[in-house]
Amino acid sequence: MMDMNYIGTIIHGTITTVTPTMNTSLRTVRMTVRNREPQTLDTINIRGSTIRYFILPDSLPLDTLLIDDSVKAKNKARKEGDKGGDRGGPGGGGPGGRGRGRGRGRGDRGGRGRGGRR
């Protein structure tokens, strides 16, 4: 069960995914809004900032369900593919990379200078 920041909205369902920003996807959902009839939905995606809290069943084996192996795999791939900064090409602004560019000149065509000929 999940209580939303919208006053009186309660959502019951099966959690399928939760992102690091707490965005949550659920399936087989029953949504109850205050002073309205409950609605049944197949799936729903909820923005994390609108979730006040989760209520999980006591019978849920959290020790086995909350292991996240995907984070380790991403970090390993990042270390293997790390070639330098993220600007330009390989190595960022250093040799072999493009860096930030050289501007557009300082002549009478404008560019990065202060004014120029008029």
Query: Which secondary-structure segment (H or E) carries 77?
Result: helix 70-81
Give the C-alpha separation, 35 to 41, whole Å.
Answer: 18
pTM value surpassing 0.85? no
- Side-chain-side CA neighbours of 15 within 13 Å: the count stands at 16
Domains identified in the chain, total number:
1
Position 94 in a domain: no
Structural domain boundaries enclosing 23 = 2-53
Judge whether 32 lies within some domain. Answer: yes
pLDDT for the residue numbered 80: 63
CATH number at residue 44: 2.30.30.100
- Within a domain: 48: yes
Q: Is there a domain that residue 38 lies in? A: yes
Mean pLDDT, residues 49-58: 87
Residue 88 lies in a domain: no
Determine, yes or no, domain membership for 78.
no
CA dihedral 8, 47, 31, 55 (to 10 degrees): -70
